[in-house]
C-alpha cells in the first residue's frame, strides 16, 4: 500500500519521477544517511589494521593492536580515545547531513 504522501503527490498531478525523487527518496535517504557513519567507522577501524599489515606500514591501527597484545595500557587508552573521538566526529557529520537531505528536520528548533 502506498503512503499518504505518495497518494497526495500523485493526486496533485506530479509525474512519477517527481514523486519518486521529491518524496519517496527523501524519506528513504534518512535511513541511508543514518547508516553510513556506522559503516564508515567500522570499515575505518578494521581496514586501517588490515592495510597496515598487508603493506607493512606503521600506523594507528597496527600500533593499537600491538599495544593491546603487549598490554601497553597507556597506548591502548590513547588509541581508544583517538578512535572514539573520530567516531563521534563522524556521527556528528552524519547528523548534520540530515538537514541537507530533509530540511524539515531542524535541530535548532528543539528546546528539549
Residue 111 has pLDDT above 70, yes or no: no
Give the pLDDT mean for 13-40.
Answer: 83
* Cα separation, 26 vs 29, whole angstroms: 5
How does pLDDT run across 83-96, given as a tens digit for each residue? 889 888 988 888 88
Residue at grid coordinates 600500533: 63
Indicate the Cα dihedral angle 99, 32, 41, 92, nearest 10°. 10
Helices (H), the chain: 4-11, 16-19, 25-54, 60-69, 73-101
Are 30 and 98 in contact by the 8 Å Cβ rule? The answer is: yes
Query: Considering the entire predicted model, what is its pTM?
Result: 0.66
Amino acid at each position: 500500500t502506498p503512503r499518504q504522501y505518495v497518494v497526495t503527490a500523485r493526486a496533485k498531478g506530479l509525474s512519477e519521477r517527481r514523486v519518486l525523487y521529491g518524496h519517496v527518496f527523501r524519506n528513504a535517504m534518512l535511513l541511508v544517511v543514518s547508516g553510513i557513519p556506522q559503516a564508515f567507522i567500522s570499515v575505518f577501524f578494521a581496514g586501517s589494521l588490515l592495510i597496515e599489515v598487508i603493506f607493512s606500514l606503521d600506523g594507528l591501527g597496527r600500533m593499537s593492536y600491538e599495544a593491546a597484545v603487549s598490554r601497553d595500557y597507556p597506548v591502548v587508552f590513547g588509541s581508544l580515545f583517538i578512535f572514539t573521538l573520530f567516531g563521534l566526529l563522524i556521527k556528528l557529520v552524519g547528523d548534520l547531513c540530515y538537514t541537507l537531505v530533509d530540511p524539515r528536520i531542524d535541530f535548532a528548533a528543539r528546546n528539549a
